[in-house]
A and B are shown apart, each in its own frame.
Chain A
Amino acid sequence: MAEVALTLSGVAVAFGALRAVDGVDLSIPTGQRRAIIGPNGAGKTTLFNAITGVVPPTEGRVVFEGHDITHLPPHKRAALGIARTFQITNLFPSLSVEENMVLALRGLSPQKFSLFGSPDLSTADQDRISRALRLAGLADRSATVVTEMAYGDQRQLEIALALVATPRMLLLDEPAAGLSPTERSIVADVIRGLPKELTVILIEHDMDLALGLVDYVTCLHEGRLLVEALPADIRTDPRVQEVYLGKPHHA
């Protein structure tokens, strides 16, 4: 278990003069569930983008399972087993749930280059898709077109898409954003049900939800790492309280 899945050393992402992520060191063991918290603008999503390659880091190194991926484009990182969901729902809206899943499944298979092949699915693929849909709580929805789905279901499909290709590390960017309490608990159950060997990094604003799901918490503030602690200790940490609630006034 001591194996390290992901190491960031001195990672910085600068947009002109703004250093959205400013020298973050992070090490996440294989199979850990890690939450990244922090107030708005702390650099959480930018850090995700640096890990997935959407915005390559301007400084520092990103190492995933021994591969230096600092300068790899997103699709090559995906090939190494890094999957993500998006804070703002990012699906294929005009396609059916099944077609969404097929695209997710074939992202790493040479079948995606079959120019005149039959669109029919093999039974093995069919099984993998139904399993992932069941895990995400979307069984029997495969024929539905995404635009016709409720927002909560779309959030679950976000996770299903990231899961079906059996990644080695999953990055969840506010999976419960904009959901009702009932829908949140469904998403929480989905995350709890993820395979144990899968490394999961979670950005979440809802503290109760996040702290109930993870082994360890990293708090970012203004692009820098502020605190790393166990979920039980994070609420009582004075530095975390300070960035969320402001400095206590001394009389």
Chain B
Amino acid sequence: MSGLSRSKSPMGALVGVAVMAVGVIAPFFLSRYQIGLATQILIFGMLAMSIDILVGFTGRTSLGHGAIFGASTYVVLYCVTQAGLSPYLAVVLGIATATVLAAVFALLAVRTNGVYFLLLTLALGMIVWGICLRWTQVTGGENGLRGDIRPKALADYKDFYWFILALAALVTFGIRRFVQSPFGLTLRGIRDSDSRMRSLGYNVPLHLFIGFTMSGFFAGVAGAVYAFFNNFVSPSTVALTQSVESLLMAIIGGVGTLYGSFIGASALIALQNLVSSHTERWQSVLGITFTLIMIFAPEGIVGKFRALRAKYASKH
């Protein structure tokens, strides 16, 4: 028996099953608008989780993931609306594009660290944004691309929600498996000490390259289905705010917790929608909320919860 960070408590499995059950029956109790929000939360939760692979498990903060995500969305919409391809093939091409784009980002960024990594991924994301804005004949410029591209089988909003729910479960399982694998452990080793990793025989840049590319793959999956959800893409999907918002989701939920990404996405998207229907100053409310979370729970909501539970367990 080895305890390699697999605190596999029966509680955890139970909570997982319960959450999944609630997720499955939720559409019977929610309005169409609310189901749309839930779908959006799941998609951005997947994006935030792909960022958590880097932030939480590798110690590298990326500000380029919005661009990787959005590139996938662009390709899917372009393939279906302009090139007339089937939406399924378009999804494959979208994910492939995001993965290749992430590999290019990774090639340039893996030798940097800390604030340089942050700035380099930010700059690369800006380039993608610039291309989407200016390459009008392909991307539609500021108007973006629009079209009802969702496959017939998923046309109903409830069916689409269930499809995204199943996909989110699959992606969560895949990312969890990835960060706990022997390779995932090497990423955590790099996070803690890359000089020690080198002296133990690890080619640190190669590991970062693979980790970044895998993270981009998952961001591409989220971006591809976002195209089905939104039926529209414009430069704001690949803009810096997209990267920052999804990074915030991962941080609010708790970096290094994976599931926290969905909590963070729920918090941010719910706040955006609820508060904006009551006041025009919703962005200030969001800013204040985020500040409070950083003061009272810098480890994020799930991180705080785990810390409290550990404290409780050690007392009893």
- A residues neighboring B (CB under 8 Å): 52, 54, 73-75, 78-79, 83-84, 86, 90-96, 98-99, 102-104, 106-108, 111-121, 126, 142-143, 161, 165
Contact = CB atoms under 8 A, between A and B. Distances in A.
A155 B193 CA distance: 16
B202 A115 contact: no
B4 A92 contact: no
Given A115-B178, A116-B174, A119-B180, A94 B188 contact: yes
Question: Which 6 pairs across A and B sit closest by C-beta, in order of nearness?
Answer: A107-B201, A78-B201, A107-B200, A92-B192, A74-B198, A119-B4
A119 B193 contact: no
A94 B185 CA distance: 12
Contact of A91 (B182, B196, B202): B196
A209 to B, nearest CB: 23
A120 B181 CA distance: 9
Given A94-B192, A98-B2, A103-B189, A108 B183 contact: no
Interface of B: 2-6, 174, 177-178, 180-186, 188-189, 191-193, 195-204, 207, 210, 214
A111 B186 CA distance: 11
A99 B199 contact: no
B4 A103 contact: no
A93 B192 contact: yes
Contact of A78 (B2, B191, B200): B200
Given A114-B181, A115-B181, A120 B189 contact: no
A119 B214 contact: no
B99 to A, nearest CB: 13
A115 B174 CA distance: 10
A185 B174 CA distance: 48
A79 B201 contact: yes
Contacts of A111: 182
Given A92-B188, A103-B185, 8 more contacts: A75-B198, A98-B3, A103-B197, A116-B177, A116-B181, A119-B2, A119-B182, A143-B3
Contacts of A98: 2-4
Contacts of A90: 193, 195-196
A111 B189 CA distance: 15
A114 B201 contact: no
Contacts of A108: 201
A251 B134 CA distance: 86
A95 B189 contact: yes
Contact of A165 (B185, B192, B197, B201): B201
A52 B3 CA distance: 32
A119 B6 contact: yes
A106 B198 contact: no
Contacts of A96: 3-5
Contacts of A116: 174, 177-178, 181
A67 to B, nearest CB: 15
Given A99-B4, A103-B200, A92 B189 contact: yes
Contacts of A143: 3
B193 A92 contact: yes
B192 A95 contact: yes
A241 to B, nearest CB: 35
Nearest to A90: B196
A120 B4 contact: yes
Given A115-B214, A119-B5, A99 B185 contact: yes
A106 B199 contact: no
B170 to A, nearest CB: 13
Contacts of B180: 119
A73 B199 CA distance: 9
Given A78-B199, A108-B201, A165-B201, A119 B192 contact: no
10 contacts: A54-B199, A75-B203, A98-B2, A98-B3, A99-B4, A103-B202, A114-B182, A115-B183, A115-B210, A119-B182
